[in-house]
């Protein structure tokens, strides 16, 4: 069975690009536009990896990571955050919140797939 | 369906974001910024930067970075949103737009502008030096000999949070195994006694021996996400010192029981129950909201146009069907036809409703215009908008922009006085421009109101006489005087500024509004200000019309302009010596005979009908043979070939399948006036 990845980004183009890359690599992809929506998508279905942006309206990436880590069913789901080079403190905050890994924007599709493979085993 | 192109999506998204940026920035203008707004602004730039870099708009990304950095300082409270910064942000927005256009093959973005904005931003945020430090850890990697297999000794003691952060250590070890021959030994010395053991903590550490061609960085990359907080040492070992066991030491599988227990842990009630319970109502609300957000779909407007056209055809065919049904008069037929009629009417209303857009988006464009112009003119002007939620057909909205810009420019330039002058007159220093929209029946009325000096009635009149537009002794009503400003070549501005006053404009405005089947009215009071009202139809696709007949042909007159219907006999026509005027309750109303306009001389009836319509505040009669009744018609534009015919605004197909032409009253009046003037000048 293919693994399911939840991608969270307020930018539709980023979501599209991520979803396109990951589904081409054989993953199921579900999308959410912000942290709050992402949490509603974690409704008990199997999600094996979360790829989230950090800067988002309503609930940002850090908030989402914290939120995911307190849901029993998703407590150990690997989470990749997407950061930009200028947000190093954000990276630390994300890690403190429980992010598993990160990718620095801009990245290439192969990098994303490599990291997904790495975390999904 | 073709795979959507993310770059296209990005460009659309960038457009939206830039519009948001402008709107937020202008809202901030003058007001104190709350943190949410600044965050929103920051996020917009952040997304443009991030996504821009992703899709190859490097110039955009690197430029946006500077703006983002400055805004980040604002977020942290280290920098205030000064007018200089706001202007800078607006400039940056324009620059990003230009860069994006350039990347799409548009004209090159102004080269110096980027550097200027960057320099200003840098000046504002000179205290930021500590912010940009890249904390990339310098790796003290031994230089590897590429190609040859080397033996490495790796010691990895993870942060005990490893599992909580979603990392599976087995995956890490597998990744190492994929690099080459590998032996892993788990050190279980740190595992606490059972009663103190927490299953979601990692108590293991590993000693790993690896023989691989991979270099130091490749090995280090395996641990990239876990090296912080973990103890990791990767050292080159002498080959003899490293013993690779052919089979994994049993200890390597040790983590498995722990992880499998973790995997099952969520199912048990180990986690306190209240957390999920309290989260539920909120989660539900969020879910509802998410559904609402998902329900917006972007559709290219051609698709909508096609849909509207199809519905138009459907409406026409339905009305033919109704007529047939009425003629046959069989209950079996009439009742389903009536249901279809009801459904189609509903369908039509819904489809036309799709095209309706709130006028707010157009209004917000003017905020920028007012902001820039008042700076340019050295005036202090506030723009107040009302009724931004008023919905208007997209086609009307699109064509409304230019006339409104003209009118606003005029008000700012000629209407509102300079601050000092205003103070002397006992007014507030800041002028106010009010832009309001409201529905009245099937029309929308847009008013542009300023509290400036008002129109100078005498100056306009003098100018009118000077230009030969008015007879020197003519007694004119206010409305007639103000109507002069819409005539071509009329401008009373004493000096021509770059903003307005070239004498083109008002007549163009008038013509543009006419083509939208709308009307313009001016009211003004000296010293108090001027109000210009534009009355426009809600949609261009459908018109409520009065169907009239001339000879065998049918014409449609938009009901919105019709005032009353009269009869006129052949004798009455002769009574005014053939002058085209009819007395309506003691007042003379000029009329236009459609028979003459369309040169249809034969079979003149003795009794003709006059449809009195309103045009530019005056009454004009249209003489026809018969008035057939009112009819809601879908307007079909005339083909390209007929585009220059000004007296018609379109055509429609009647229930019996015949074509009826829709009259453009403004065009008719204009045509008659021109021919009349020609007759006068030649005689």
Residue B123 has pLDDT above 50, yes or no: yes
Three-state secondary structure readout of B59-117: HHHHHHHHHHHHHHHHHCCCCCCCHHHHHHHHHHHHHHHHHHHHHCCCCCCCHHHHHHH
Chain B nearest CA to A28, separation (Å): 16
- The tally of CA atoms less than 13 A away on the side-chain side of residue B455 is 25
pLDDT band of residue B93 (cuts 50, 70, 90) is confident
Contact B266 A72 (CB under 8 A): yes
Q: Which of B287-301, B382-396, B643-657 holds the top average pLDDT? A: B382-396
pLDDT at A51: 92
Alpha-carbon distance values, B577 to B253, B574, B597, B677 (Å): 114, 5, 19, 19
Residue B487's SS3 state is coil
C-alpha span between B216 and B306 (Å, rounded):
62
Mean pLDDT of chain A: 85
State the average pLDDT over residues B630-638: 76
Contact B43 A55 (CB under 8 A): yes
Question: How many Cβ pairs within 8 Å bridge chains A and B?
Answer: 126
Alpha-carbon distance values, B614 to B617, B618, B619, B621 (Å): 6, 6, 5, 9
C-alpha span between B376 and B378 (Å, rounded):
6
Strand partners, B449: B434, B531
C-alpha span between B421 and B173 (Å, rounded):
80
In chain A, % of residues over pLDDT 90: 12
Chain A residues with beta carbon closer than 8 angstroms to that of B286: 36-37, 39-40
pLDDT at A6: 92
Residue B230 has pLDDT above 80, yes or no: no
- A65, closest residue in chain B (CA to CA): B165
pLDDT digits (tens, 9 = 90+) for B428-484: 888 889 999 988 766 789 999 988 888 888 888 888 888 777 778 777 777 778 878
pLDDT at B239: 55
Mean pLDDT of chain B: 76
- B47, closest residue in chain A (CA to CA): A11
pLDDT at B31: 60
Q: Which of B219-233, B527-541, B591-605 has the lowest mean pLDDT?
A: B219-233
Contact B283 A33 (CB under 8 A): no
State the average pLDDT over residues B583-587: 83
Instruction: Give the residue, B357 or B134, on which the prediction is more confident.
Output: B357
> Does residue B672 contact residue B665 with C-beta atoms inside 8 Å?
no
Nearest to B614 by CA among B563, B568, B675, B683: B563
C-alpha span between A78 and A50 (Å, rounded):
6
C-alpha span between A93 and A66 (Å, rounded):
10
C-alpha span between B528 and B146 (Å, rounded):
85
pLDDT at B3: 55
Please tell me if residue A109 touches chain B, with a CB cutoff of 8 Å. Answer: no
State the average pLDDT over residues B413-420: 84
C-alpha span between B133 and B187 (Å, rounded):
38
pLDDT at B139: 42
Instruction: Give the residue, A18 or B637, on which the prediction is more confident.
Output: A18
C-alpha span between B487 and B505 (Å, rounded):
10
At which residue do the structure tokens 């949490």 appear?
A39
pLDDT digits (tens, 9 = 90+) for A65-99: 988 888 888 888 889 988 876 567 777 888 888 88
Alpha-carbon distance values, B254 to A15, B265, B294 (Å): 39, 18, 46
C-alpha span between B388 and B436 (Å, rounded):
7
pLDDT band of residue B247 (cuts 50, 70, 90) is very low
Chain A nearest CA to B394, separation (Å): 24
pLDDT at B611: 92
Contact B43 A10 (CB under 8 A): yes
pLDDT at B30: 58
Alpha-carbon distance values, A2 to A22, A26, B361, B446, B649 (Å): 11, 7, 44, 57, 60
Alpha-carbon distance values, B407 to B350, B401, B443, B504, B520 (Å): 33, 10, 20, 12, 11
State the average pLDDT over residues B608-630: 86
- A15, closest residue in chain B (CA to CA): B6
- B9, closest residue in chain A (CA to CA): A13
Residue B367 has pLDDT above 80, yes or no: yes
**Which H or E run contains A12?**
helix A12-24
Contact A82 B174 (CB under 8 A): no
β A4-8/A28-32 pair status: parallel
In a mutational test of the A interface, the residue from B54, B160, B230, B288 whose CB has the highest number of chain A CBs within 10 Å is B54
pLDDT at B270: 42
Q: Which of B18-22, B149-153, B529-533, B595-599 has the lowest mean pLDDT?
A: B149-153
Residue B670's SS3 state is helix
State the average pLDDT over residues B279-305: 60
pLDDT at B335: 87
| The two three-digit tokens of residue B682, written as one number | 């030649």
pLDDT tens digits in sequence order for chain A, 121 residues long: 688 999 999 888 888 888 888 888 888 899 998 889 999 888 888 899 999 988 888 888 888 998 888 888 888 888 998 887 656 777 788 888 888 888 887 788 888 888 888 888 7
C-alpha span between B349 and A97 (Å, rounded):
51
- A102, closest residue in chain B (CA to CA): B225
pLDDT at B138: 41
pLDDT digits (tens, 9 = 90+) for B652-682: 877 677 888 988 887 888 888 888 777 766 6
**Which H or E run contains B153?**
strand B150-157
Between helix B6-28 and helix B35-54 the angle, nearest 10°, is 150
């Amino acid at each position: 069975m293919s693994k399911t990845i939840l991608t969270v980004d307020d930018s539709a183009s980023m979501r599209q690009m991520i979803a396109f890359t990951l589904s081409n690599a054989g993953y199921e992809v579900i999308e959410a536009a912000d942290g709050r929506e992402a949490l509603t998508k974690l409704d008990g279905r199997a999600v094996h990896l979360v790829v989230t942006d950090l800067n988002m309206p309503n609930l940002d990436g850090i908030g989402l990571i914290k939120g995911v880590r307190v849901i029993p069913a998703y407590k150990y789901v690997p989470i990749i955050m997407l950061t930009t080079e200028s947000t190093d403190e954000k990276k630390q905050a994300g890690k403190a919140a429980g992010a598993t890994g990160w990718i620095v924007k801009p990245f290439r599709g192969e990098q994303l797939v490599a990291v997904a493979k790495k975390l999904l085993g | 369906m073709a795979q959507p192109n993310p770059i296209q999506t990005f460009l659309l998204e960038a457009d939206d974001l830039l519009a948001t940026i402008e709107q937020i920035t202008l809202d901030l203008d003058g007001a104190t910024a709350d943190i949410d707004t600044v965050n929103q602004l920051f996020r917009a730039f952040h997304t443009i930067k991030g996504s821009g870099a992703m899709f190859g708009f490097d110039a955009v990304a690197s430029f946006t970075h500077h703006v983002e950095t400055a805004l980040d300082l604002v977020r942290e409270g280290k920098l205030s949103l000064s007018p200089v910064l706001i202007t800078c942000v607006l400039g940056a927005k324009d620059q990003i737009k230009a860069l994006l256009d350039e990347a799409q093959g548009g004209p090159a973005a102004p080269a110096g502008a980027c550097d200027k904005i960057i320099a200003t931003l840098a000046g504002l945020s000179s205290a930021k030096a500590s912010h940009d430090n890249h904390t990339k850890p310098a790796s003290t990697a031994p230089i590897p000999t590429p190609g040859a297999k080397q033996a490495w000794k790796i010691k990895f003691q993870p942060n005990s949070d490893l599992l909580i952060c979603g990392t599976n250590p087995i995956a890490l070890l597998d990744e190492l195994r994929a690099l080459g021959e590998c032996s892993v030994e788990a050190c279980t010395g740190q595992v606490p006694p059972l009663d103190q053991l927490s299953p979601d903590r990692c108590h293991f550490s590993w000693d790993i021996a690896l023989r691989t061609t991979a270099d130091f960085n490749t090995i280090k990359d395996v641990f990239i996400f876990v090296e912080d907080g973990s103890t990791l040492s990767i050292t080159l070992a002498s080959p003899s010192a490293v013993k690779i066991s052919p089979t994994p030491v049993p200890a390597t599988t040790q983590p498995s029981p722990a992880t499998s227990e973790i995997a099952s842990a969520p199912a048990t009630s180990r986690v306190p129950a209240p957390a999920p319970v309290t989260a539920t109502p909120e989660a539900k609300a969020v879910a509802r909201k998410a559904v609402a957000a998902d329900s917006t779909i972007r559709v290219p407007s051609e698709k909508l146009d096609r849909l509207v056209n199809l519905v138009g055809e459907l409406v026409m065919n339905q009305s033919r069907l109704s007529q047939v049904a009425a003629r046959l008069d069989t209950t079996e037929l009439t009742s389903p036809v009536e249901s279809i009629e009801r459904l189609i009417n509903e369908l039509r209303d819904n489809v036309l409703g799709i095209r309706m857009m709130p006028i707010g988006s157009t209004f917000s464009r003017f905020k920028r215009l007012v902001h820039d112009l008042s700076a340019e003119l050295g005036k202090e002007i506030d723009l107040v908008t009302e009724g931004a939620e008023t919905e208007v057909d997209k086609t009307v909205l699109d064509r409304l922009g230019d006339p409104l810009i003209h009118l606003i420019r005029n008000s700012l330039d000629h209407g509102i006085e300079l601050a000092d002058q205003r103070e002397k007159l006992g007014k507030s220093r800041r002028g106010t421009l009010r832009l309001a929209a409201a529905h009245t029946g099937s029309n929308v009325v847009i008013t542009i109101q300023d509290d400036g000096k008002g129109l100078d009635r005498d100056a306009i009149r003098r100018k009118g006489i000077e230009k030969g537009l008015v007879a020197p002794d003519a007694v004119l009503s206010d409305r007639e005087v103000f109507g002069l400003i819409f005539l071509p070549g009329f401008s009373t501005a004493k000096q021509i500024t770059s903003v307005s006053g070239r004498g083109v404009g008002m007549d163009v405005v008038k013509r543009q509004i006419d083509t939208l089947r709308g009307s313009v009215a001016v009211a003004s009071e000296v010293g108090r200000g001027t109000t210009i009202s534009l009355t426009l139809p809600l949609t261009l696709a459908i018109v409520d019309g009065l169907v009239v007949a001339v000879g065998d042909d049918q014409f449609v007159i938009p009901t919105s302009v019709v005032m009353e219907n009269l009869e006129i006999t052949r004798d009455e026509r002769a009574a005014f010596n053939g002058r085209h005027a009819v007395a309506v309750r003691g007042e003379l109303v000029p009329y236009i005979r459609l028979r003459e306009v369309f040169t249809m001389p034969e079979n003149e009836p003795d009794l003709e009908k006059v449809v009195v319509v309103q045009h530019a505040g005056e009454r004009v009669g249209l003489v026809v043979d018969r008035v057939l009744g009112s009819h809601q018609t879908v307007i079909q534009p005339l083909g390209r070939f007929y585009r220059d015919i000004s007296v018609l605004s379109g055509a429609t197909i009647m229930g019996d399948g015949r074509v009826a032409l829709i009259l453009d009253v403004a065009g008719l009046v204009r045509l008659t006036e021109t021919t009349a003037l020609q007759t006068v000048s030649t005689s």
